[in-house]
Amino acid sequence: MLAFAGRPMTVLHPFDGACEMDMRAVWDGLVEVCQELSERAPREWQALAGVAITGQGDGMWPLDENGEPVGNAILWNDSRCKRLELQNEAEITAYGVAHSLSPLFVGAVPSILRWLMELEPQRFAKIRHALHCKDWLVYRLTGRIMTDRSDASTALMNILQDRYEFDQLELMGLPRETRQVFPEIVDSLEIVGQTSPAAEAACRLPAGLPVMAGSLDVAATTFGAGARQPGDAVTILGTTFSNQVILDASQVSHTDVAGSTLCYLYPGTFMRVMATTNGASAIEWARRTLLPQASLEEMEQGIAAAPEGCEGVFFQPYLNGERAPFRESRAAGAFHGITPRHTPQHLMRAVFEGLAYSLRHCYDHLPKGDPPVILAGGASASRAMCQICANVLNRPMLRVPDQEFGLYGMASALLEKLGYVSARGAAVQEGEFFSPQAASVRRYADGFGIYRQLRDSELEFWKARDRFLERAV
């Protein structure tokens, strides 16, 4: 990597359950980043070969007939749709299974459109294009409206027939003309245009650079971490914990509605995804709450000193609801089994173990395999987290050193498309291995059974809690 620059993006919460982002602010952030990079590496900037973008998936980035934002982007973790009542939900789910669609959830484009139709009809009427995050930026660079297969496959796309299944919209009560807002679908590695003179004026990107369609962040990160062949597995220990296994067409099935099966970067390859709602965000919440004065090193030492199983403390990590391997927006986090002998270090380790149990729960719904699971993402910096994962999943873990896998994945794909590197070349996998430890594997196998029992016992409580909160409004 020759140079790196970034800008923090603000997530807006205008009302309970809403998670939004100012689309123009995201574009402005890209402009600032490009300008900074052009100044820090001016010679390399003029030698750029092309542009590839990745961004958060799901959610909706709406444009009007003039290509201008229709309000803020509604993000993937927005839960405003959780009280959307569809009387034929079972029929909608069955249709999705029969037509190789990803299961709908509250942060998917069709769900958001249905909510807007009911509660913000004037805004709904203005929408002409329902894009994803990276599509918005590609549009600003090239003027072309499209999406790639990885983003399109998050909702409404039949991944085996390579087309939208618009009848699902009508099952949801959306008008027929809603079909028109879904963009053209292209290959992730397709060159969809060139940087425009307007983009050059704003970003200093030389006009005429080839721009690749790009992909959703999970696909880009999985590609950058080295997954190329069916059976390769990657777990991103990021803000959410996202688990991916690469499939060929013969392995695709939508009968298990947990998680999603999405298109991968290469045509004819797919990615089984189990992306939890909670991950490093739960670790950061627990660290602020339990060990606010401790450094990361001190936190690691405390976790290592606490016994496996935390002397009977269990953590349910559903602080922001859950979407994999089950979908329940009303889910909430909880500690179980606390007694006076337990310390903040016990509870902190219980958070790590609870998150690892949630990974195990996800992997129970993924194709079985023997290769090591590639670990990436910020929380993989914790050796304790990596070893706990190896023991809970009873599978070797390979922690790879570089953490900017989404950027690396897009750069690798673009260089491949432009002919600078060999097509579909296997990535070199180097890093630190964490092997399962037999005694710990047995201990955590028992713990996982209790974790599942606790999850099942919480279901009615979550519903009652939600009703309780509704009455308080």
Per-residue confidence of the chain (473 residues) as pLDDT tens digits? 788 999 999 999 999 889 999 999 999 999 999 999 999 999 999 999 999 999 998 899 999 999 999 999 999 888 898 878 888 989 999 999 999 998 888 889 999 999 999 999 999 999 999 999 999 999 999 999 999 999 999 999 999 999 999 999 999 999 999 999 999 999 999 999 999 999 999 999 999 999 999 999 989 989 998 888 888 999 989 888 999 999 999 999 888 877 889 999 999 999 999 989 899 999 999 999 999 999 999 999 999 999 999 999 999 999 989 988 998 989 999 999 999 999 999 999 999 999 999 999 999 999 887 789 999 888 999 999 999 999 999 999 999 876 688 999 999 999 999 999 876 655 556 789 999 999 999 999 999 999 999 999 999 999 999 999 988 76
Fold exhibited by the domain 227-473: Nucleotidyltransferase; domain 5 (3.30.420)
Look at residues 101, 20, 14, 102 and name the one whose alpha carbon lies nearest to residue 61. 20
Nearest to 235 by CA among 359, 352, 79, 336: 359
Boundaries of every domain in the chain: 20-213, 227-473
Cα-Cα-Cα-Cα dihedral sign, residues 426, 427, 428, 430:
negative
136 contacts 23 by C-beta, under 8 angstroms: yes
| 295: CB partners within 8 A, 6+ apart | none
pTM of the model: 0.84
Domains 20-213 and 227-473 fall in the same CATH topology: yes
Strands 61-63 and 233-237, bridge-based pairing: unpaired
Q: Which CATH number fits domain 20-213: 3.30.420.40, 3.40.50.150, 3.30.750.210, 3.30.450.40?
A: 3.30.420.40
Measured CA to CA, the distance from residue 417 to residue 265 in angstroms comes to 11
Q: What is the per-residue DSSP string for 201-230?
A: HHH-PPTT-EEE--EEHHHHHHHHTT--ST
